[in-house]
């Protein structure tokens, strides 16, 4: 199946189908196909009417004048309306019986535990909001958060939202350089961090990285440090403050600041196909509505559910489906600090058993690791509380889907394979567990308000089973509004490929039932263990090493991570050796972080290039994957380069 203009080929053939169980459908929020179709058609034909109705699910300080203004890419939602995300996630529940319901059930990697009720979470958020104010943070400022998966991370996010400051979370696996780049780009005024965090029993020295990053950033005035591991850290007077010191004298009285619906809620950096990370900006009303409604529709969240999303809050999945979506719904959300295989490979299943988790949302890369570790681990635990399973981050291979369904779901739990992106803010394409007949490997159909199409580069819609570009034809409330500080790049990146449509880089096809099968990125973005990494970013890191002349980075199929990182490197002089390979690997880790650790470095005298000097990545991808090079090589400048690479193939 191939179309000449997209060049995207799909080889996956999967015919198994799993209808929803009637018991599940009977009590689901969306329980009939007719209900879904009615919602979907209304949202398509009358987005303002549909979303205006939905927005009544949120608490507004001032009702909007207009639901939707403008067309893509310049859209505004709930214009004139005022609300506060922290109020919606906390205060409004305090007026109900939920005030003493568990909001966050947290477990640290060493086994320490903490449960925060809505009332307790509200108190700490108000206190920390006052601390931020005391440090000079004002409405409209940016605060960088570089923290482990501890409750203070959620508290800090909601405290920022409470006073109208935008948070910019940097995943704890990123390096000092990455923290500096991101805080500079966002012009962050304050960084909140911790002495360290726990990962597989080892320390992750976060404060040390912040100290290093501050040598390169001029905007950060204050640093707040949570004591987590207890290791020694250097505290700079009048710059660094302990979280607990600030909190001990902070008042718990802090009204939520009414902000415009289009007021920035957060910036989250993500990799694009050029070197510099993109600061995806989300605003308050639309984002909160998107995450609130999709949590309810897709996870079928009920009052009595215990819900666990295993993502790190440093990624969009954690923002939307550990914090904002579940808390806005008044749900109980589980948060775990550490690794799935610490102290052993049963940790996740032990957590599910301990808290009687009902809804479990994880990533294909984790599922593949569980499969490798063996069924004995999950089989040791009582997983009968589970009623729904979710997957996110990359296409789930049908075999992993079947394992998830059989071994974890006991053939009882529906699986929601949710497709979305940092840029979309909320889930876009996913089964609805009460109505959708699922097929392993397909994220199925668009949610209400989502109008996708699969098109050629020229924008022509493709018939079933033809691979093409996945685009959105209509705006939706939780879409990104801009790339921070670079509106041109925003327009260029997402709205210039296909006229009038949003496009963020995935290829897909529909099948004869109209189900969508996402085939992966079509740009130079890798998806390593569900994390987006730009090949260009890794190349820039390599080239910054004094011995490297040129580098080309490509992905190759990897059993656990989905995609592995293969780097082709040419040196200024001399040949590569094992010690230089190690040095380059640690060089990349230092520049970007452990998540970007190359799997293979291959030294080469030259890179295959076209006559116009473009590196022929397609050929390198074939070599990295150990495939025969079948593609067209007629434009290759120097055939001997390719021959040499083939000779060296290991």
Shortest spacing between CB 396 and ligand WTA, in angstroms: 7
Answer for which of 104, 159, 392, 645 binds ligand WTA (CB under 6 A) is 392
Q: With binding defined as CB under 6 A, does residue 213 bind ligand WTA?
A: no
Answer for which of 361, 403, 420, 556 binds ligand WTA (CB under 6 A) is 420
Q: With binding defined as CB under 6 A, does residue 388 bind ligand WTA?
A: no
DSSP state of 36: H
Q: With binding defined as CB under 6 A, does residue 394 bind ligand WTA?
A: yes
Shortest spacing between CB 534 and ligand WTA, in angstroms: 12
The footprint of ligand WTA on residues 440-479 (CB under 6 A) is 443
Q: Any long-range contacts for 617-625 (C-beta under 8 Å, 24+ apart)?
A: 617/524, 617/535, 617/552, 617/554, 620/552, 620/554, 620/566, 620/568, 620/645, 621/554, 621/555, 621/556, 623/649, 624/554, 624/555, 624/556, 624/566, 624/600, 625/556, 625/557
Segment contacting ligand WTA (CB under 6 A): 8-16, 286-294, 392-400, 480-488? 392-400
C-alpha 550: how far from its chain's center? 30
The smaller minimum CB distance to ligand WTA, of residues 222 and 531, is found at: 531
93-118 in b/e burial notation, b at 16+ Cβ within 10 A?
beeeebeebbbbbbbbbeeeeebbbb
Segment contacting ligand WTA (CB under 6 A): 337-345, 502-510, 604-612, 615-623? 502-510
- Two tokens, residue 288: 């909160």
* Vertex 307: Cα angle to 301 and 310 (nearest 5): 130
Q: Report the chain's terminal Cα–Cα distance, integer Å.
A: 31
Shortest spacing between CB 344 and ligand WTA, in angstroms: 28
**Residues 165 and 141 sit within 8 Å (Cβ to Cβ):** yes
CA distances from 296 to 104, 157, 546 (A): 18, 22, 52
Q: With binding defined as CB under 6 A, does residue 168 bind ligand WTA?
A: no
Per-residue interface string for the shown chain with ligand WTA, residues 258-297, x marking contact by CB under 6 A: ------------x---------------------------
The smaller minimum CB distance to ligand WTA, of residues 155 and 363, is found at: 363
Q: How far apart are the C-alpha atoms of 158 and 162, rounded to whole Å?
A: 6
- Two tokens, residue 640: 């001997």
Shortest spacing between CB 394 and ligand WTA, in angstroms: 5
Shortest spacing between CB 572 and ligand WTA, in angstroms: 35
The footprint of ligand WTA on residues 313-342 (CB under 6 A) is 315-317
Q: With binding defined as CB under 6 A, does residue 497 bind ligand WTA?
A: no
The footprint of ligand WTA on residues 510-539 (CB under 6 A) is 518, 520-521, 527, 532
Q: With binding defined as CB under 6 A, does residue 419 bind ligand WTA?
A: yes
Shortest spacing between CB 201 and ligand WTA, in angstroms: 27
**Residues 20 and 405 sit within 8 Å (Cβ to Cβ):** no
Residue 342, Cβ neighbours under 10 Å: how many? Answer: 17
Q: With binding defined as CB under 6 A, does residue 422 bind ligand WTA?
A: yes
- Footprint of ligand WTA (CB under 6 A): 270, 315-317, 392-395, 417-422, 443, 504-506, 518, 520-521, 527, 532
């Amino acid at each position: 199946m191939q179309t000449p203009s997209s060049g995207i080929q799909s080889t996956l053939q999967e015919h198994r189908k799993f209808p929803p169980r009637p018991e599940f459908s009977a009590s689901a929020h969306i329980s009939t196909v007719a209900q879904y179709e009615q919602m979907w058609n209304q949202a398509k034909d009358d987005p303002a009417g549909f979303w205006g109705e939905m927005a009544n699910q949120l608490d507004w300080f001032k009702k909007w004048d207009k639901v939707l203004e403008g067309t893509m890419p310049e859209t505004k939602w709930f214009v004139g309306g005022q609300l506060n995300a922290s109020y919606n996630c906390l205060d409004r529940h305090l007026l109900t019986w939920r005030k003493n319901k568990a909001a966050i059930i947290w477990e640290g990697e060493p086994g320490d535990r903490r449960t925060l009720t809505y009332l307790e979470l509200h108190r700490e958020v108000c206190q920390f909001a006052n601390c931020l104010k005391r440090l000079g943070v004002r409405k409209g400022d940016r605060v960088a958060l570089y923290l482990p998966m501890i409750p203070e991370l959620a508290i800090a996010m909601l405290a920022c939202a409470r006073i109208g400051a935008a948070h910019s979370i940097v995943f704890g696996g990123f390096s000092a350089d990455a923290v500096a780049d991101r805080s500079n780009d966002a012009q962050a005024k304050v960084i909140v961090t911790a002495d360290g965090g726990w990962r597989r029993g080892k320390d992750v020295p976060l404060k040390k990285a912040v100290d290093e990053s501050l040598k390169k950033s001029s905007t950060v005035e204050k640093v707040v440090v949570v004591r987590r591991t207890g290791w020694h850290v250097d505290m700079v007077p009048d710059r660094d403050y302990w979280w607990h010191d600030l909190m001990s004298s902070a008042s718990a009285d802090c009204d939520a600041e009414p902000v415009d619906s289009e007021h920035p809620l957060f910036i989250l950096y993500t990799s694009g196909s050029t070197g510099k990370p993109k600061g995806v900006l989300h605003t308050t009303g639309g984002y909160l509505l998107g995450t609130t409604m999709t949590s309810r529709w897709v996870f079928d969240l009920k009052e009595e559910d215990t819900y666990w999303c295993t993502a790190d809050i440093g990624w969009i999945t954690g923002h939307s489906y550990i914090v904002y979506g579940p808390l806005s719904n008044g749900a109980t959300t589980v948060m775990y600090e550490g690794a799935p295989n610490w102290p052993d490979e049963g940790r996740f299943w032990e957590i599910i058993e301990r808290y009687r988790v009902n809804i479990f949302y994880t990533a294909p890369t984790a599922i593949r690791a569980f499969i490798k570790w063996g069924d004995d681990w999950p089989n040791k635990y009582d997983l009968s509380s589970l009623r729904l399973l979710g997957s996110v981050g990359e296409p789930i291979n049908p075999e992993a889907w079947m394992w998830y369904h059989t071994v974890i779901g006991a053939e009882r739990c529906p699986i929601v394979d949710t497709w979305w992106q940092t840029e979309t803010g909320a889930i876009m394409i996913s089964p609805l567990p009460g109505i959708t007949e699922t097929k392993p490997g397909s994220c199925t159909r668009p949610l209400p308000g989502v109008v996708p199409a699969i098109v050629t580069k020229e924008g022509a819609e493709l018939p079933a089973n033809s691979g093409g570009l996945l685009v959105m034809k209509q705006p939706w409330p939780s879409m990104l509004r801009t790339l921070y500080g670079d509106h041109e790049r925003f327009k260029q990146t997402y709205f210039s490929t296909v006229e009038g449509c949003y496009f963020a880089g995935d290829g897909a096809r529909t099948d004869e039932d109209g189900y969508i099968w996402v085939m992966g990125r079509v740009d130079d973005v890798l998806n390593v263990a569900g994390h987006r990494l730009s090949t260009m970013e890794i190349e820039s890191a390599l080239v910054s090493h004094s011995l490297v002349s040129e580098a080309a980075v490509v992905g190759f199929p990897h059993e656990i991570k989905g995609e592995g990182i293969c780097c082709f490197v040419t040196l200024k002089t001399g040949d590569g050796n094992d010690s230089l390979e190690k040095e380059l690997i640690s060089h990349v880790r230092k520049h970007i972080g452990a998540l970007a650790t190359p799997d293979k470095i291959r030294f080469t005298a030259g890179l295959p290039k076209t006559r116009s000097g473009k590196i022929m990545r397609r050929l390198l991808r074939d070599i990295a994957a150990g495939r025969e090079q079948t593609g067209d090589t007629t434009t290759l400048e120097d055939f001997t380069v390719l021959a040499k690479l083939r000779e060296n193939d290991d």
